[in-house]
């Protein structure tokens, strides 16, 4: 078992943990944390493939990871703003009880 294998398996495990949390928890913030974990697992894959790929001097994986981090930050900001707005309106962050789009 070489090193790339280890990184890929770790990334798959992180993705599965994030997916399990996002699918099973009731709290909207924990669902968002699960999505962040899945994004991070994808980033780890990019960096590992860049490092162990055929030409690491091309910097493609690093660039993709940097842009992905920026997009994840924007996503977290908008997601948390939405959760705060929902909490102000429904007085709960339980995704099972937020079942109306109309206020």
Residues within window 28-87 making contact with another protein, judged by CB under 8 A: 29-30, 32-34, 36-37, 40, 43-44, 47-48, 50-57, 59, 62-63, 65-67, 69-78, 80-85, 87
Residue 92 interacts with another protein (CB under 8 A): yes or no: yes
Phi, psi of 61 (to 5 degrees): -65, -40
Q: What's 27's DSSP letter? A: B
Minimum gap (Å) between residue 100 Cβ and another protein = 16
Beta bridge pairs of residue 94: 27
Q: What's 55's DSSP letter? A: -
Minimum gap (Å) between residue 38 Cβ and another protein = 10
CB nearer another protein, residue 51 or residue 101:
51
Minimum gap (Å) between residue 20 Cβ and another protein = 4
For residue 98, what are the contacts with CB-CB under 8 A and spacing of at least 6? 28, 86, 90, 92
3-state DSSP call for residue 94?
Answer: strand
Residue 101 interacts with another protein (CB under 8 A): yes or no: no
């Amino acid at each position: 078992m070489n090193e790339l294998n280890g990184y890929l398996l770790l990334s798959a495990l992180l993705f599965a943990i994030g997916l399990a949390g996002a699918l099973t928890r009731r709290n909207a913030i924990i669902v968002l944390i699960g999505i962040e974990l899945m994004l991070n697992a994808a980033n780890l894959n990019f960096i590992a493939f860049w490092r162990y790929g055929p030409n690491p001097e091309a910097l493609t994986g690093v660039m993709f990871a940097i842009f992905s981090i920026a997009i994840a930050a924007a996503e977290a900001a908008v997601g948390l703003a939405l959760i705060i707005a929902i909490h102000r309106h429904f007085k709960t962050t339980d995704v099972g009880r937020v079942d109306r789009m109309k206020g």
